[in-house]
Protein backbone atom coordinates (compact mmCIF):
# COMPACT_ATOMS: atom_id res chain seq x y z
CA UNK A 1 0.00 0.00 0.00
CA UNK A 2 2.69 2.50 1.03
CA UNK A 3 4.79 1.60 -2.04
CA UNK A 4 2.28 2.35 -4.80
CA UNK A 5 3.76 4.11 -7.86
CA UNK A 6 1.16 6.89 -7.78
CA UNK A 7 1.17 10.56 -6.85
CA UNK A 8 0.66 11.50 -3.21
CA UNK A 9 -2.72 13.06 -4.02
CA UNK A 10 -3.97 9.83 -5.63
CA UNK A 11 -2.51 7.80 -2.79
CA UNK A 12 -4.40 9.93 -0.26
CA UNK A 13 -7.63 9.48 -2.22
CA UNK A 14 -7.23 5.76 -1.59
CA UNK A 15 -5.66 5.64 1.88
CA UNK A 16 -6.34 9.07 3.37
CA UNK A 17 -8.30 9.74 6.56
CA UNK A 18 -11.37 11.09 4.77
CA UNK A 19 -11.53 8.09 2.42
CA UNK A 20 -11.53 5.78 5.45
CA UNK A 21 -13.95 7.91 7.50
CA UNK A 22 -11.27 8.86 9.98
CA UNK A 23 -11.25 12.64 9.67
CA UNK A 24 -12.14 14.53 12.86
CA UNK A 25 -15.62 15.55 11.70
CA UNK A 26 -16.36 12.00 10.51
CA UNK A 27 -15.24 10.46 13.81
CA UNK A 28 -17.20 13.00 15.87
CA UNK A 29 -20.38 12.20 13.95
CA UNK A 30 -19.88 8.50 14.82
CA UNK A 31 -19.14 8.93 18.52
CA UNK A 32 -21.60 11.69 19.40
CA UNK A 33 -23.86 14.47 18.12
CA UNK A 34 -23.47 18.19 17.72
CA UNK A 35 -24.76 20.45 20.45
CA UNK A 36 -27.13 22.72 18.52
CA UNK A 37 -27.71 26.43 18.73
CA UNK A 38 -30.75 27.95 17.04
CA UNK A 39 -31.75 31.57 16.59
CA UNK A 40 -34.92 32.39 18.53
CA UNK A 41 -36.76 35.23 16.84
CA UNK A 42 -38.75 36.31 19.90
CA UNK A 43 -35.58 36.60 21.98
CA UNK A 44 -33.50 37.99 19.12
CA UNK A 45 -30.47 35.81 19.89
CA UNK A 46 -29.10 32.29 19.41
CA UNK A 47 -30.04 29.90 22.19
CA UNK A 48 -28.39 26.53 22.90
CA UNK A 49 -30.43 23.57 24.10
CA UNK A 50 -29.82 22.60 27.71
CA UNK A 51 -31.26 19.12 27.77
CA UNK A 52 -27.79 17.59 27.49
CA UNK A 53 -25.97 19.87 29.90
CA UNK A 54 -23.90 17.75 32.27
CA UNK A 55 -25.25 14.54 30.78
CA UNK A 56 -22.45 13.89 28.24
CA UNK A 57 -18.76 14.70 28.00
CA UNK A 58 -18.30 17.46 25.44
CA UNK A 59 -15.67 18.28 22.82
CA UNK A 60 -15.25 21.74 21.34
CA UNK A 61 -13.70 21.99 17.87
CA UNK A 62 -11.00 24.63 17.68
CA UNK A 63 -11.68 25.26 13.98
CA UNK A 64 -15.26 26.58 14.29
CA UNK A 65 -16.11 26.43 17.98
CA UNK A 66 -18.81 23.79 17.47
CA UNK A 67 -19.53 21.57 20.46
CA UNK A 68 -20.18 17.82 20.31
CA UNK A 69 -21.82 15.69 22.96
CA UNK A 70 -19.91 12.43 23.16
CA UNK A 71 -22.11 9.36 23.57
CA UNK A 72 -19.89 6.47 22.42
CA UNK A 73 -18.77 3.69 24.71
CA UNK A 74 -15.11 3.23 25.54
CA UNK A 75 -14.80 0.29 23.14
CA UNK A 76 -15.75 2.44 20.14
CA UNK A 77 -13.33 5.19 21.17
CA UNK A 78 -10.53 2.62 21.44
CA UNK A 79 -11.48 1.25 18.02
CA UNK A 80 -10.92 4.68 16.46
CA UNK A 81 -7.64 5.04 18.37
CA UNK A 82 -6.44 1.79 16.81
CA UNK A 83 -7.58 2.93 13.35
CA UNK A 84 -5.78 6.26 13.68
CA UNK A 85 -2.60 4.60 14.96
CA UNK A 86 -2.71 2.30 11.91
CA UNK A 87 -3.16 5.33 9.62
CA UNK A 88 -0.19 7.10 11.25
CA UNK A 89 1.99 4.03 10.73
CA UNK A 90 0.93 3.80 7.07
CA UNK A 91 1.71 7.51 6.57
CA UNK A 92 5.16 7.02 8.15
CA UNK A 93 5.84 4.08 5.82
CA UNK A 94 4.78 6.17 2.81
CA UNK A 95 7.05 9.06 3.81
CA UNK A 96 10.00 6.74 4.42
CA UNK A 97 9.44 5.09 1.05
CA UNK A 98 9.11 8.43 -0.78
CA UNK A 99 12.36 9.73 0.68
CA UNK A 100 14.53 6.65 0.19
CA UNK A 101 16.49 4.93 -2.57
CA UNK A 102 15.41 5.71 -6.15
CA UNK A 103 12.43 7.85 -5.07
CA UNK A 104 14.76 10.25 -3.25
CA UNK A 105 16.90 10.56 -6.36
CA UNK A 106 14.26 10.54 -9.09
CA UNK A 107 10.83 11.02 -7.56
CA UNK A 108 8.03 8.53 -8.24
CA UNK A 109 7.38 7.35 -11.80
CA UNK A 110 3.62 7.67 -12.25
CA UNK A 111 3.17 6.77 -15.92
CA UNK A 112 3.18 3.39 -17.66
CA UNK A 113 5.10 4.35 -20.83
CA UNK A 114 8.07 6.69 -20.46
CA UNK A 115 11.33 7.82 -22.04
CA UNK A 116 14.21 8.96 -19.84
CA UNK A 117 16.47 11.53 -21.51
CA UNK A 118 19.95 11.41 -19.99
CA UNK A 119 21.81 14.73 -20.02
CA UNK A 120 25.10 14.21 -18.19
CA UNK A 121 26.35 17.67 -19.11
CA UNK A 122 29.94 18.18 -18.03
CA UNK A 123 29.90 15.64 -15.20
CA UNK A 124 33.29 14.51 -13.97
CA UNK A 125 34.10 10.76 -14.25
CA UNK A 126 33.22 10.06 -10.60
CA UNK A 127 29.91 11.94 -10.91
CA UNK A 128 29.22 10.16 -14.21
CA UNK A 129 29.51 6.81 -12.41
CA UNK A 130 27.32 8.13 -9.60
CA UNK A 131 24.64 9.09 -12.14
CA UNK A 132 24.73 5.64 -13.74
CA UNK A 133 24.47 4.06 -10.30
CA UNK A 134 21.44 6.22 -9.51
CA UNK A 135 19.76 5.51 -12.85
CA UNK A 136 20.39 1.77 -12.48
CA UNK A 137 18.56 1.95 -9.17
CA UNK A 138 15.63 3.72 -10.88
CA UNK A 139 15.46 1.00 -13.53
CA UNK A 140 15.62 -1.87 -11.03
CA UNK A 141 13.20 -0.42 -8.48
CA UNK A 142 10.67 1.57 -10.51
CA UNK A 143 10.86 1.01 -14.25
CA UNK A 144 10.51 -2.74 -13.63
CA UNK A 145 6.97 -1.98 -12.37
CA UNK A 146 5.65 -0.11 -15.43
CA UNK A 147 4.73 -1.22 -18.97
CA UNK A 148 7.11 0.31 -21.53
CA UNK A 149 10.25 2.47 -21.54
CA UNK A 150 13.23 3.77 -23.46
CA UNK A 151 16.49 5.61 -22.74
CA UNK A 152 18.01 8.38 -24.85
CA UNK A 153 21.35 10.03 -24.19
CA UNK A 154 21.76 13.68 -25.15
CA UNK A 155 25.12 13.94 -26.94
CA UNK A 156 26.77 15.30 -30.06
CA UNK A 157 25.65 12.07 -31.70
CA UNK A 158 22.34 11.20 -30.05
CA UNK A 159 22.26 7.69 -28.58
CA UNK A 160 19.14 5.56 -28.09
CA UNK A 161 18.87 2.31 -26.19
CA UNK A 162 15.98 1.24 -28.46
CA UNK A 163 14.33 2.89 -31.45
CA UNK A 164 10.92 2.91 -29.74
CA UNK A 165 9.57 2.31 -26.25
CA UNK A 166 10.02 -1.37 -25.37
CA UNK A 167 7.87 -3.61 -23.12
CA UNK A 168 9.24 -3.93 -19.60
CA UNK A 169 10.56 -7.32 -18.56
CA UNK A 170 13.46 -8.57 -16.48
CA UNK A 171 15.34 -9.13 -19.74
CA UNK A 172 14.80 -5.60 -21.10
CA UNK A 173 15.66 -3.94 -17.79
CA UNK A 174 18.88 -5.98 -17.63
CA UNK A 175 19.66 -4.89 -21.18
CA UNK A 176 19.06 -1.22 -20.30
CA UNK A 177 21.34 -1.45 -17.26
CA UNK A 178 24.11 -3.01 -19.37
CA UNK A 179 23.67 -0.32 -22.05
CA UNK A 180 23.87 2.36 -19.36
CA UNK A 181 27.17 1.04 -18.04
CA UNK A 182 28.66 0.76 -21.53
CA UNK A 183 28.18 4.50 -22.14
CA UNK A 184 31.43 6.40 -22.39
CA UNK A 185 32.22 9.48 -20.37
CA UNK A 186 32.07 12.62 -22.55
CA UNK A 187 32.86 16.16 -21.49
CA UNK A 188 32.06 18.09 -24.67
CA UNK A 189 28.34 18.24 -25.43
CA UNK A 190 26.65 20.33 -28.11
CA UNK A 191 24.35 23.03 -26.71
CA UNK A 192 21.60 21.72 -29.01
CA UNK A 193 21.84 18.07 -27.94
CA UNK A 194 19.44 18.34 -24.99
CA UNK A 195 16.64 19.84 -27.07
CA UNK A 196 17.24 17.32 -29.86
CA UNK A 197 17.03 14.42 -27.40
CA UNK A 198 13.75 15.73 -25.97
CA UNK A 199 12.27 16.10 -29.45
CA UNK A 200 13.34 12.56 -30.28
CA UNK A 201 11.74 11.25 -27.08
CA UNK A 202 8.45 13.00 -27.80
CA UNK A 203 8.41 11.66 -31.36
CA UNK A 204 7.31 8.28 -30.03
CA UNK A 205 3.50 8.56 -30.03
CA UNK A 206 3.12 5.87 -27.36
CA UNK A 207 4.98 7.90 -24.74
CA UNK A 208 2.90 9.16 -21.81
CA UNK A 209 5.69 11.27 -20.31
CA UNK A 210 9.35 12.15 -20.81
CA UNK A 211 11.76 12.37 -17.87
CA UNK A 212 14.62 14.83 -18.44
CA UNK A 213 17.49 13.80 -16.13
CA UNK A 214 19.76 16.85 -16.01
CA UNK A 215 23.13 16.56 -14.25
CA UNK A 216 24.72 19.72 -12.88
CA UNK A 217 23.84 23.14 -14.27
CA UNK A 218 22.21 23.98 -17.59
CA UNK A 219 24.28 26.22 -19.95
CA UNK A 220 22.67 29.52 -20.96
CA UNK A 221 22.59 28.59 -24.68
CA UNK A 222 20.83 25.32 -23.85
CA UNK A 223 18.20 27.02 -21.68
CA UNK A 224 16.73 29.01 -24.55
CA UNK A 225 16.51 25.96 -26.80
CA UNK A 226 14.84 23.95 -24.03
CA UNK A 227 12.27 26.70 -23.53
CA UNK A 228 11.46 26.67 -27.24
CA UNK A 229 11.29 22.87 -27.29
CA UNK A 230 8.80 22.45 -24.44
CA UNK A 231 6.62 25.43 -25.37
CA UNK A 232 4.49 23.15 -27.55
CA UNK A 233 4.94 19.69 -26.08
CA UNK A 234 3.00 16.63 -27.22
CA UNK A 235 3.31 14.99 -23.78
CA UNK A 236 4.35 16.12 -20.28
CA UNK A 237 8.06 16.51 -19.58
CA UNK A 238 9.12 15.87 -15.98
CA UNK A 239 12.36 17.52 -14.87
CA UNK A 240 14.82 15.68 -12.61
CA UNK A 241 17.73 17.81 -11.43
CA UNK A 242 20.76 15.88 -10.17
CA UNK A 243 23.52 17.74 -8.29
CA UNK A 244 22.74 21.24 -9.57
CA UNK A 245 25.24 23.75 -8.17
CA UNK A 246 23.36 26.98 -8.87
CA UNK A 247 19.99 28.15 -7.55
CA UNK A 248 19.25 29.47 -11.03
CA UNK A 249 19.29 25.91 -12.39
CA UNK A 250 16.66 24.76 -9.88
CA UNK A 251 14.48 27.80 -10.62
CA UNK A 252 14.82 27.31 -14.38
CA UNK A 253 14.01 23.58 -14.33
CA UNK A 254 11.02 24.14 -12.05
CA UNK A 255 9.66 26.75 -14.45
CA UNK A 256 10.44 24.48 -17.39
CA UNK A 257 8.51 21.60 -15.81
CA UNK A 258 5.50 23.88 -15.31
CA UNK A 259 5.69 25.04 -18.93
CA UNK A 260 5.93 21.41 -20.07
CA UNK A 261 2.91 20.33 -17.94
CA UNK A 262 5.21 18.06 -15.96
CA UNK A 263 6.52 17.60 -12.43
CA UNK A 264 9.80 18.71 -10.89
CA UNK A 265 12.19 16.81 -8.63
CA UNK A 266 15.69 17.70 -7.44
CA UNK A 267 18.39 15.71 -5.69
CA UNK A 268 21.78 16.91 -4.49
CA UNK A 269 24.52 15.34 -2.44
CA UNK A 270 25.02 17.31 0.73
CA UNK A 271 28.69 17.98 0.02
CA UNK A 272 27.69 19.59 -3.30
CA UNK A 273 25.24 22.02 -1.70
CA UNK A 274 26.41 25.48 -0.77
CA UNK A 275 23.92 25.68 2.08
CA UNK A 276 23.24 22.40 3.84
CA UNK A 277 22.06 23.92 7.11
CA UNK A 278 18.36 23.66 6.36
CA UNK A 279 16.10 20.63 6.72
CA UNK A 280 17.33 17.48 5.00
CA UNK A 281 14.17 17.06 2.92
CA UNK A 282 11.80 19.70 1.58
CA UNK A 283 8.50 19.11 -0.19
CA UNK A 284 6.93 21.36 -2.77
CA UNK A 285 3.37 22.31 -1.93
CA UNK A 286 0.57 19.98 -3.08
CA UNK A 287 2.96 17.15 -3.91
CA UNK A 288 4.10 18.81 -7.15
CA UNK A 289 7.72 17.94 -6.49
CA UNK A 290 10.37 16.97 -4.03
CA UNK A 291 13.67 18.65 -3.36
CA UNK A 292 15.80 16.04 -1.63
CA UNK A 293 19.12 16.79 -0.01
CA UNK A 294 21.04 13.71 1.07
CA UNK A 295 22.33 13.54 4.61
CA UNK A 296 26.06 13.50 4.15
CA UNK A 297 27.32 10.85 1.75
CA UNK A 298 30.68 11.55 0.07
CA UNK A 299 30.82 12.38 -3.60
CA UNK A 300 31.55 9.30 -5.68
CA UNK A 301 29.62 6.90 -3.46
CA UNK A 302 25.97 5.92 -3.72
CA UNK A 303 23.90 8.90 -2.56
CA UNK A 304 21.88 6.59 -0.34
CA UNK A 305 24.68 4.46 1.02
CA UNK A 306 24.31 1.53 -1.40
CA UNK A 307 27.36 1.07 -3.58
CA UNK A 308 26.65 -1.43 -6.35
CA UNK A 309 28.74 -2.70 -9.21
CA UNK A 310 27.05 -2.84 -12.65
CA UNK A 311 26.62 -6.62 -12.46
CA UNK A 312 24.82 -6.31 -9.11
CA UNK A 313 21.79 -4.69 -10.75
CA UNK A 314 21.26 -7.57 -13.15
CA UNK A 315 21.62 -9.95 -10.20
CA UNK A 316 18.90 -8.06 -8.31
CA UNK A 317 16.53 -8.36 -11.28
CA UNK A 318 17.23 -12.07 -11.57
CA UNK A 319 16.42 -12.58 -7.89
CA UNK A 320 13.10 -10.75 -8.07
CA UNK A 321 11.21 -13.82 -9.25
CA UNK A 322 12.74 -16.16 -6.67
Q: Residue 294: give its domain's CATH number.
A: 3.40.50.410
Q: In this structure, is residue 1 part of a structural domain?
A: no
Given 54, 69, 98, the domain boundary residue is 98
- Quick one: pLDDT at residue 6? 82
Where are any strands of DSSP class E within the chain? 32-35, 37-40, 45-48, 58-60, 67-70, 113-119, 148-153, 159-160, 166-167, 209-215, 237-242, 264-268, 281-283, 289-293
The answer on 203 and 120 residing in a single domain is: yes
The answer on 242 and 165 residing in a single domain is: yes
The answer on 47 and 128 residing in a single domain is: no
The answer on 311 and 184 residing in a single domain is: yes
- Quick one: pLDDT at residue 29? 84
- Quick one: pLDDT at residue 232? 82
Given 73, 98, 123, the domain boundary residue is 98
The answer on 66 and 29 residing in a single domain is: yes
Which residues of the chain fall short of a pLDDT of 50? 39-40, 272-310, 312-322
- Quick one: pLDDT at residue 283? 33
Q: In this structure, is residue 47 part of a structural domain?
A: yes
- pLDDT single digits (tens) 157-187: 899 999 999 999 999 999 999 999 999 998 6
Q: In this structure, is residue 281 part of a structural domain?
A: yes
The DSSP secondary-structure symbol of 314 reads H
- pLDDT single digits (tens) 226-269: 999 998 888 999 999 999 999 999 999 999 999 999 999 999 87
Q: In this structure, is residue 254 part of a structural domain?
A: yes
Number of domains in the chain: 2
Could you list the residue range(s) of the whole structural domain that residue 78 is in?
Answer: 8-98
The answer on 65 and 155 residing in a single domain is: no
Q: In this structure, is residue 209 part of a structural domain?
A: yes
The answer on 131 and 42 residing in a single domain is: no
CB atoms near residue 110 (< 10 Å): 18
The answer on 133 and 89 residing in a single domain is: no
Given 66, 98, 130, the domain boundary residue is 98
**Cα distance between residue 148 and residue 254, in whole Å:** 26
The answer on 232 and 134 residing in a single domain is: yes
Question: Computed from CA positions of residues 19, 24, 28, 31, in that sequence, does the dihedral angle turn out positive or negative?
Answer: positive
- Quick one: pLDDT at residue 69? 78
The answer on 152 and 45 residing in a single domain is: no
Q: In this structure, is residue 3 part of a structural domain?
A: no
Q: In this structure, is residue 87 part of a structural domain?
A: yes
The answer on 190 and 60 residing in a single domain is: no
Q: In this structure, is residue 104 part of a structural domain?
A: no
Alpha-carbon distance values, 41 to 35, 36, 38 (Å): 19, 16, 9
The answer on 55 and 133 residing in a single domain is: no
- Quick one: pLDDT at residue 289? 42
Amino acid sequence: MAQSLVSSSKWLQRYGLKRNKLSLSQILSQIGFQHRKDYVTTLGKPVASRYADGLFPQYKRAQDGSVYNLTAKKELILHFVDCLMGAIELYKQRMEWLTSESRQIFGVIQEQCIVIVLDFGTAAPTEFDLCRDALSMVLVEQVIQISRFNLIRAAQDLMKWQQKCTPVSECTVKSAVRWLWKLEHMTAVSHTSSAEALLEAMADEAVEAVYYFAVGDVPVDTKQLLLETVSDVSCPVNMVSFNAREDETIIFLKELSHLASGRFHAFAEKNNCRDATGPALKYEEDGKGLIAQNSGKVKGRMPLGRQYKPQDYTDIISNMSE
